[in-house]
Structure 1
Amino acid sequence: MTNSTIAAIASPPGMGAVALVRISGPEAAKVCDKVFRGKSHRDWIPRHQHFGSVLDSKGAKVDDVLLTYFPSPASFTGEDVIELGCHGGVVVTKQVLNAVLEAGAEPAEAGEFSQRAFFNGRIDLTQAEAIMDLISAKTELAARAAQEQLEGVLGKQIENLREALVSATAHLEAYIDFPEEDITPDSADKLFERFDTIEASLKSLLSTADQGKILREGLKTVIVGAPNAGKSSLLNLFLGFDRAIVNEQAGTTRDTIEELINLNGIPIRLIDTAGIREGEGEIEKEGIRRSQQELELAELVLLVIDSSESRDRVNEIEIPKSTRVVRILNKSDLPSHRDWKGDPGIRVSCLDESAADSIRELLYREISANGPIESASLTAINSRHQFCLGKALQSMEKAKLGLEAGESAEFVAIDLRDALGSVGEVIGKTDIEEILGEIFSTFCIGK
């Protein structure tokens, strides 16, 4: 990372009442002194707003602004940070930024402010990732999970896990490297106890991966069924407005339609598909091919069945065995065919608005079958965390097998170091020097 001073527009693109231009780096105050006409930087009061104007390189006024100064290290990036609040027009915001760049700042790259915050020790990697999770949250529950991660909830759990690994590794390596110091090694039972505790923590965190994926991306829920079963009517029922065309003619839906709904805080990506049957024409065949493609990638399937028809049409639909399925027997306002007697699916009419609540409740129960997503602590790891922690768990299992097989302490220590490195990757800490620090501080080597 360089010592350059960077600047960028920190507010969303487009028109608004106000916009924000952020500057960070050792020369932030000097840069602003060249363009800001108001109080000199020597008179700025930290975290107070100061009114003035921004001038371009020719001395022409660009806009009136409010300047806020955050001196190092008490700022988001850990560097001197200045924020210029200007009017929110597209042109004027760009002119303010250009004035700052002409005065010596460099354009910030994507994510560079958060990257500097990480390198300067203001946040760990999980907190940096939580910033984007919070910005892109699709529901209040997803936002709350991101906020907890931003506050360091996940980072603290990972740090506690690292400390346990550092302690176990340091004790074992001290026994290996400094036998003359009369360091008593942990007994096998004690080591097994430590390993079991670490493994349990890893498995607990890994178990939140599915929850994290749902909160960040939404649960991919595909609506499938035979033509004219009521799939589009179900989508419209969920949304509360007519998003898809509904017609008695079979094959009306020719392409997939995706919409997002909020189910008790859980983002659900609803995908309406073309009715699955032997296609009549190239366009319908392509629509059916896309339906089958979505079906293969679905995390949950809503199988819509026309309960007034026989079972033959539904038998044509092949759903992957590992995919969860919610059966919806539609058209309960019509006489039911005998084939559906005793079927466990929910019986509704998608033309009846009151059916929405019962379908939502059933859907929520299915999603929460392995435990409700909302909880006191919304720890939810992402795919990168899952990969790192998965590697750590494999290393711990290998270390445990080595200990059981009576392998030498040196080989067990290698696996512990691998586990420590993998866990450290989650928060951006892979400094093995900590092990030496733990050895020397805890065991008083060379006293």
Structure 2
Amino acid sequence: MRFSTDDVIVAAATAAGPGIRAIVRLSGDRAIEVVERVFVPDVPAAWPGRSARRFAGTLRWLREPVGSQSVSGSSGDSPRAVAQVWPTRLSFTRQPVVELHVEALPGLVAALTDRLVEAGGRPAERGEFTLRAFLAGRLDLTQAEGVLGIIDARDASELAAGLSQLAGGLARPLLQLRADLLDLLAELEAGLDFADEDLEFIPRPVLVERLDDGFERLKELRARLDRRDASAHRPRVLLLGPPNAGKSSLFNALLGRPQAIVSNRPGTTRDPLVASVAAAPLPFDLIDTAGLSEGGEGSDPIDQAAQSLGRSERERADLVLVCYPAESWESRDRIEFLERLDAWRPAPSRCLMIATQADRVDGRTRAALERGGERGDGEVVVTSAATGFGLARLIERITQRLGADDDARGVTAATAQRTRGALDESLEALRRAAAGGAGDLGEELIAAELRLALDGLGQVTGEISTDDLLDRIFGRFCIGK
């Protein structure tokens, strides 16, 4: 470590800039002593207490602030503050912790942090609060990476993955597997210690069964990482249809904002438009493409280029929404349109039929379309961008078709990337141990393979770690976390 865990560390725990409240956090054995030099509680006799407690009070400065910006609170010359105190080792870091809550005035927060450093603290490094929680055994390494996943989350699904991992969604099965393998290793080594005596600590069939069970459990955990890689890819959903089928209007409605130009003039959309639908349960990229012309690509070079780009996007799409106006659903034109698609017909799992502009038909027609229409088109999602009809149903069906894997999304991308190699080594060691147990491999060699498997699991959870690894992980945190 480049720094001591005995120091009192200080950092702002909230984002910089004006706001309602800012928090300055301290952790360390002398945290309360440092705060006492800056903060005066309204009820000194109760300070600091023997359990977590909240104190109102005022701040006192070691010297007047430098510069023209005022650091006084809105109530007067002595800034008010609230101190949330955890005086024992039941805190997040298993050290005394104090949080000072003040008005979110940038000058006030900066001055308070400076005064706390002058009073005996030191500025915290990136991720140092979470690192102390890890070193104290409050978190394992996968849970610490869950904190980072929460910080870096770009959408609701990534936030859910970070929260799940922080709550132990990955740590619990890993730690249970490690505990079971440690028990098995202890029984094996006990038998080796008494090899000269006629004692059987673990029958061979039981040994093989437990090794096979451990291998299968670890294999499933490893498969979760592969599924996480697949789910990390932002799915691409493409709108396909003839000109003036309402694709651009539907594009804007799903985004909740106008981004595509909407016009009755055919060929308005030329270049593919791509935007993220982050509010969906499973975020995805939505692509609006040029309408498929009746005569193919035609002779217009611009139209040819637009159709070529659209064809390329279709090939890359995870799901294609085939759009056609509801009022023309039973027309001969739609049959001809579908025939033109025969040259490129997506698999049923990659294709969803959409009846657009449903506000232009009556309720009976909408109900018939939802049943697949007269021609038995199967599932049809009926929508209206103008009224919002069917949009929630469309989002639901898109999410189902894309197949959100909640289990895979309980792992952050950073953890999946870091742990893959270690889990592969553990899996291979367990495979050799299980094969050796089923054969005639000696128990001392099986025990050696178990130790290798346990070492790999220890690297994942953090029981086995190096300073370089910890620096690499926690150096990606923001200061104050």
| TM-score, length basis structure 2 | 0.70
**Does the Cα contact within 8 Å between 1:65 and 1:85 map onto a contact in 2?**
yes
**Does the Cα contact within 8 Å between 2:52 and 2:86 map onto a contact in 1?**
yes
Selected match of 2:237 from 222, 241, 265? 222
Between the two structures, name the one with larger relative contact order (CA 8 Å, sep ≥ 6): 2
Selected match of 2:20 from 17, 22, 40? 17
Alignment of 1:87 with 2:103, yes or no, is yes
Q: 2:52 is matched with which residue?
A: 47
Q: 1:409 is matched with which residue?
A: 443
Paired residue type of 2:460: V
Deviation per residue, 1:111-168 (Å, 9 max, x gap): 21111100011222232233344554844x8766655543435433222111111122
Q: 2:410 is matched with which residue?
A: 380
**Does the Cα contact within 8 Å between 1:124 and 1:155 map onto a contact in 2?**
yes
1:109-124 residue pairs with structure 2 within 5 A? 109-124=125-140
**Does the Cα contact within 8 Å between 1:302 and 1:325 map onto a contact in 2?**
yes
Q: Which consecutive residues of structure 1, in runs of 5 or more, have no partner in the other structure?
A: 432-447
Deviation per residue, 1:275-325 (Å, 9 max, x gap): 4987977999699769947964x6x32343558363476467698x9x962
Q: 1:294 to 1:271 in 2, by over 3 A?
A: farther
Q: 1:361 to 1:58 in 2, by over 3 A?
A: closer
Q: 1:250 is matched with which residue?
A: 267
Number of equivalent positions: 415
Paired residue type of 2:30: E
Q: 1:88 to 1:23 in 2, by over 3 A?
A: same
Q: 2:204 is matched with which residue?
A: 188
1:287-298 residue pairs with structure 2 within 5 A? 292=312, 296=316
Q: 2:68 is matched with which residue?
A: none
Task: State the SS of the aligned residue for 2:37.
Answer: helix
1:23-62 residue pairs with structure 2 within 5 A? 23-38=26-41, 43-45=47-49, 46-59=51-64, 62=72
1:23-172 residue pairs with structure 2 within 5 A? 23-38=26-41, 43-45=47-49, 46-59=51-64, 62=72, 63-134=79-150, 136=153, 138-139=155-156, 146-147=162-163, 149-172=165-188
Alignment of 1:366 with 2:401, yes or no, is yes
Structure 1: how far apart are the matches of 2:314 and 2:107? 42
Paired residue type of 1:250: G
1:207-356 residue pairs with structure 2 within 5 A? 208-209=224-225, 219-225=234-240, 228=243, 230-247=246-263, 248-250=265-267, 252=269, 254=271, 256-263=273-280, 266-275=281-290, 292=312, 296=316, 300-306=318-324, 308=334, 310-311=337-338, 314=341, 325-331=350-356, 346=380, 348=382, 351=385, 353-356=388-391
**Does the Cα contact within 8 Å between 2:134 and 2:140 map onto a contact in 1?**
yes
Q: 1:96 to 1:290 in 2, by over 3 A?
A: farther
**Does the Cα contact within 8 Å between 1:251 and 1:284 map onto a contact in 2?**
no
Task: State the SS of the aligned residue for 2:85.
Answer: strand
| TM-score, length basis structure 1 | 0.75
RMSD: 4.3
Q: Which consecutive residues of structure 2, in runs of 5 or more, have no partner in the other structure?
A: 66-70, 73-78, 362-368, 466-481
* Cα displacement (A) at 1:36: 2.5
* Cα displacement (A) at 1:252: 2.4
Structure 2: how far apart are the matches of 1:146 and 1:20? 22
Q: 2:432 is matched with which residue?
A: 398
Task: State the SS of the aligned residue for 1:86.
Answer: strand
**Does the Cα contact within 8 Å between 2:158 and 2:412 map onto a contact in 1?**
no
Q: 1:362 to 1:125 in 2, by over 3 A?
A: same
Larger Rg: 2
Structure 2: how far apart are the matches of 1:253 and 1:15? 44
**Does the Cα contact within 8 Å between 2:274 and 2:288 map onto a contact in 1?**
yes
* Cα displacement (A) at 1:179: 1.9
Task: State the SS of the aligned residue for 2:410.
Answer: coil
* Cα displacement (A) at 1:84: 0.7
Structure 1: how far apart are the matches of 2:119 and 2:343? 68
* Cα displacement (A) at 1:394: 3.1
Q: 1:393 to 1:292 in 2, by over 3 A?
A: farther
* Cα displacement (A) at 1:347: 5.6
* Cα displacement (A) at 1:230: 4.8
Structure 1: how far apart are the matches of 2:223 and 2:148? 22
Q: 1:103 to 1:304 in 2, by over 3 A?
A: farther
Q: What percent identity do the matched residue pairs reach?
A: 26
**Does the Cα contact within 8 Å between 2:24 and 2:100 map onto a contact in 1?**
yes
* Cα displacement (A) at 1:415: 2.5
